[in-house]
Amino acid sequence: MITVLQRTSEASVKINQEIVGEIEEGLMILLGIEEADSQEDIDWLCRKVCNLRIFDDEAGVMNKSLIDVNGDILLISQFTLHASTKKGNRPSYIKAAKPDVAIPLYEKFIKQLEAELGKPIQTGEFGADMKVSLINDGPVTIMIDSKNKQ
């Protein structure tokens, strides 16, 4: 699993001109799922996301986690994170999981994030054409790949 985390002061996602998810302070997360992903990837990544100290403390130092600041999450499925651009100019998405594998993992990821965070999260819709807006606070943008834990 690959995630791109963006610390936000606000973020939203629209489908067909209608806002289906929005948050204020927190993280907008793009999630890419591949065929080789498992519950182990979900467990590790959810713990990492919720406990990553990338929010400012009282001294303005990134020393607080999403849990510490009671932040929210907007999760967006993003198969293009697994794009291979090594050959030619048209990206290949062969590494991205097909919907029959990706959707159950995406749904498990949502449930696990909600359990780690202790509250519901906001999401887009898997496979939909979405318009995502955010104000990246900092800016802080971090990419995490569950296959590179070391």
SS3 label, residue 63: strand
130 contacts 14 by C-beta, under 8 angstroms: yes
Q: How many CB atoms lie within 10 A of CB 108?
A: 17
Residues with catalytic roles: 80
Instruction: Give me the half-sphere count of Cα atoms (radius 13 Å) on the Cβ side of residue 67.
Output: 13
Look-up: residue for tokens 């985390």? Answer: 5
